[in-house]
């Protein structure tokens, strides 16, 4: 995935799943359609959604790095139920990540929205009947 337009995204709360629907438009029509599906989502944060987002890439990142880079958000958020008690301290978060097989993913953009996801897995699925 490189320079795909983000067509839409949805958060399926009870399923703990996030779906990013993308199109690669630089190859001409018909566009290539790829969904990025995060399952077992534990926490996420997207920002700078400009409604014309272009995803540059999604990297796997150590969940510990995401926690440390956003420690203040995690430590403040648990008071309001986000992301859960495991976010109170770094020690609790690292234990939780190990026990639940949590991986980290960083969303990079060429334009607009970026952020991160803590989830058990990520899969790229072609909607054109081809392998993604």
Each residue of 76-100: pLDDT tens digit?
998 899 999 999 999 999 999 999 9
Nearest to residue 19, comparing CAs of 54, 56, 44, 52?
44
pTM exceeding 0.85: yes
Range of the domain at 99: 4-126
**113 assigned to some structural domain:** yes
**132 assigned to some structural domain:** no
**102 assigned to some structural domain:** yes
**131 assigned to some structural domain:** no
- Domain total in the chain: 1
**15 assigned to some structural domain:** yes
Q: The sheet that has 17-24: what strands, in order across it?
A: 43-47, 114-119, 103-111, 54-61, 4-12, 17-24, 32-39, 121-126
């Amino acid at each position: 995935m490189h320079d795909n337009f983000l067509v839409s995204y949805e958060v399926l709360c009870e399923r703990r799943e996030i779906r990013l629907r993308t199109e690669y438009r630089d190859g001409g029509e018909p566009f290539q359609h790829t969904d990025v599906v995060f399952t077992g989502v534990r926490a996420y944060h997207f920002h700078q959604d400009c409604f014309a987002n272009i995803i540059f890439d999604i990297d796997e990142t150590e969940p510990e790095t995401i926690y440390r880079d956003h420690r203040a958000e995690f430590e403040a958020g648990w008071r309001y139920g986000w992301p859960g008690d495991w976010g109170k301290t770094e020690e609790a978060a690292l234990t939780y990540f190990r026990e639940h097989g949590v991986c980290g993913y960083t969303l990079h953009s060429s334009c607009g929205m970026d952020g991160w996801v803590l989830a058990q897995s990520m899969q790229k699925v072609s909607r054109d009947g081809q392998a993604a």
